Amino acid sequence: MNDPAIRLAGLRKAFGRNQVLRGIDLTIPAGRVTVLMGANGAGKSTLVKILCGVHGADAGTVTLDGRPFAPASPSAALRAGVVTVHQNINDGVVPDLDVASNLLLDTLADGSGTFLNRRRMRERAREIAAAVGLEIDVTRQVADLSLADRQLVAIARAMAHDPRLMILDEPTSSLSAVEAERLFDLIESLRDRGVAILYISHRMSDIRRLADRIVSMRDGQIAGVFEEAPLDYSGSVRAMLGHEMTEADITIPAPGRTVLEVSDLVLRPGAAPFSLVARENEVIAITGLVGSGKSDLAGALFGLAPPLSGQMVLDGRPHRPTDARAAIAAGVYMCPKDRLITAVVADFDITRNITIPFLPRHSRASFLSRGSERRTAERMIGEMGVICQTPMDGILTLSGGNQQKVMVARWMAEASRLLILDEPFQGVDIQARRDIGHKIRATAGTRATIVFVAELDEALEIADRILVMSEHSIVGEHRNENIDVSAIMAEVVEAAPARAAGLQHG
């Protein structure tokens, strides 16, 4: 059963000037689970979208069972036997319909006849469900099902097409450990029936559980293929992250007073409790793969979602913010990731974007002082080196790097006790990255600073101390001095125990 199901040769794709796929050669054999790893922007999702008919490739060929395969639309890909289960579960199901209608949705969409025969539909739906071992009442509304069951419905629906290749894009990201286990069993039974599986994930525990082979992508190219048992997991992560080390010229200063003390924090059920201390004049980088819990930790510190248990102490007083406002009032500021969604106010100019959180400082009896705002904006534009015509430029006229400088400036305009920066180098050019990193370090003296980054290079560039997160817990701590990169890599990958504990607690 090892005949190649899908073969990609010289696949290229560009969006405008941005080369996303730069010559992909890859086979995805039938009857095996191929795990695809890659950091954000490596080109994974573009690759998937070409395979499932959303985009066309610019160059290169795809063959499916020896025949050329170039689907013009998602439904063409489906008919040819390539099915995709998306990360966002609700993309795969229609919540307002019952299970039977969902299972037969594709036949409804391009079937013939106008009226529905309820009884026949249910019978056919039951057959489809049984074929994947899904035990479910097909008359139930999908909206009433758990996320896991919805996903199984989406997979069962896909299976009705007798697929040759099944693509699963981060399928466990919203499942509990027990639910994920059910999914894994299903995937294995599909594999044993000769379906080629392309499984996209960052979760090492999933990968260990399922992978027959691992393909690592980086910058639009295949960076490594690992298929000899035992699989080289850390090798695959290294290939995915790359490690062209920038010379880290970090001189670690003497840390000052303790600002934040976190003890026995539990971020999600089953995750191991952890503790950490952040001090003045110290920049901590917390690194880990996507989904390792970095954002959850940032959210707990900034009051977006309280931790399940454990204590946070800020300057000797309990720190239990109920929302962002409370956190800001306590002196904890956060520059969030995904700036265009979570930070940039598109209708505002640079000045107004900078002054949003601290308007009381710029107003008297609620009336704003334009002069005070402009002075702060000019000062911050100068300090951060934002390249712009005037402080009244619209924020969207700036490049990504300059937008990010403005977002960082927003939170550096006032003194903080703890400054959290979540992926501050996301979508930022190299010069802006240097400027922002330098500024963060230069101003760190009077506060504690925690930077969350997925890329190890970025952590090495900015931090005095590097903490490694995995499975929603901190699994390693390193002083950024003569650092052993492979040890950190191993910790990034290492995680099985916490997940196993999760299985027992459900």
CA distance 370 to 329: 23
Candidates 227-235, 251-259, 340-348, 381-389 — which segment interacts with another protein by CB under 8 A?
Answer: 340-348
Choose between 291 and 336: whose C-beta lies nearer to another protein.
336
Q: Does 363 bind another protein (CB under 8 A)?
A: yes
Q: How far is the CB of 389 from another protein (least distance, A)?
A: 16
What is the size of the binding site for another protein (CB under 8 A)?
26
Question: Among residues 2, 18, 112, 366, which is the contact residue for another protein, using CB under 8 A?
Answer: 366
Which residues, numbered 282-321, are part of the site for another protein (CB under 8 A)?
A: 302
In 10 A of CB 107, how many CB atoms?
A: 14
Looking at 345, 415, 430, 487, which residue binds another protein (CB under 8 A)? 345
Q: Give 243 or 352: the residue with its C-beta nearer to another protein.
A: 352
Q: Of these, 76, 273, 348, 455, which contacts another protein (CB under 8 A)?
A: 348
Pick from 88, 146, 309, 342: which binds another protein (CB under 8 A)? 342
Comparison of 190 and 343: residue with beta carbon closer to another protein: 343
Q: Which is nearer to another protein, 368 or 496 (CB)?
A: 368
371 binds another protein (CB under 8 A): no
Q: Which residues of 378-412 are buried (b: 16+ CB within 10 A; e: fewer)?
A: eebbeebbbebeebebebeebeebbbbbbbbbbbb
Q: How far is the CB of 356 from another protein (least distance, A)?
A: 4
Q: Which of residues 390-429 bind another protein (CB under 8 A)?
A: 410
CA dihedral sign, ordered 177, 288, 155, 210: negative
Residue 230, preceding bond cis, omega within 30 degrees?
Answer: yes
CA distance 308 to 266: 5
d(CA 410, CA 385): 13
Q: Are 440 and 470 in contact (CB under 8 A)?
A: no
Told to check if 325 binds another protein by CB under 8 A, we report yes
Closest CA to 98 of 72, 80, 125: 125
Stretch touching another protein by CB under 8 A, among 137-145, 187-195, 257-265, 355-363:
355-363
Could you tell me the smallest distance in angstroms from the CB atom of residue 326 to another protein? Answer: 9
**359 scored as a contact of another protein (CB under 8 A):** yes
Using the minimum distance from each CB to another protein, give the nearer residue, 16 or 360.
360
Beta carbon of residue 116, minimum distance to another protein (angstroms, whole number): 29
Helix (H), strand (E) at residue 100: helix 99-103
Q: Which of 182, 352, 374, 434 binds another protein (CB under 8 A)?
A: 352
Residue 392 Ramachandran class (φ > 0 left, ψ -120 to 50 alpha, else beta):
alpha
Does the footprint of another protein cover residue 362 (CB under 8 A)? Answer: yes
DSSP string, 250-318: --PPPP-SEEEEEEEEE-STTPPPEEEEEETTEEEEEE--TTSSHHHHHHHHTTSS--SEEEEEETTEE
Comparison of 168 and 428: residue with beta carbon closer to another protein:
428
Cβ nearer to another protein, comparing 203 with 410: 410
The answer to the question of residue 367 lying near another protein (CB under 8 A) is yes
- Rounded-to-integer distance, Cα 244 and Cα 227, Å: 24
Told to check if 120 binds another protein by CB under 8 A, we report: no
Taking the least distance from each CB to another protein, the nearer of 251 and 366 is 366
Nearest-approach distance from CB 321 to another protein, in angstroms? 11
Residue 212 near residue 227, CB atoms below 8 Å: yes
Q: How far is the CB of 340 from another protein (least distance, A)?
A: 9
Give the long-range contacts of residues 136-142, CB within 8 A, separation 24 or more.
136/99, 137/99, 138/98, 138/99, 138/100, 138/103, 139/98, 139/99, 139/100, 140/98, 140/99, 141/95, 141/96, 141/97, 141/98, 141/99, 142/93, 142/94, 142/95, 142/96, 142/97, 142/98, 142/99, 142/102
Residue selected from 136, 197, 343, 398 as contacting another protein according to rule CB under 8 A? 343
341 binds another protein (CB under 8 A): yes
Q: Which residues of 71-95 are buried (b: 16+ CB within 10 A; e: fewer)?
A: beeeeebbebbbbbbbbebeebbee
- Check binding of 171 to another protein (CB under 8 A): no
Alpha-carbon distance values, 19 to 47, 59, 219, 310, 398 (Å): 12, 12, 9, 46, 22
Cβ-based nearer residue to another protein, 118 or 325: 325
The CB-of-420 to another protein minimum distance in angstroms stands at 11
59-64 and 67-68 strand pairing:
antiparallel
Query: Applying CB under 8 A, does 344 fall inside the site for another protein?
Result: yes
- Provide the minimum distance between the beta carbon of 363 and another protein in the complex, in angstroms, as a whole number: 5
The reply on whether position 130 binds another protein by CB under 8 A is no
Dihedral of CA 308/314/316/322: which sign?
negative
Shortest distance (Å) from residue 360 CB to another protein:
7
Choose the binding region for another protein from 84-92, 114-122, 278-286, 322-330 (rule: CB under 8 A): 322-330
The footprint of another protein (CB under 8 A) covers 302, 324-325, 328-329, 334, 336, 341-348, 352, 356-357, 359-360, 362-363, 366-368, 410
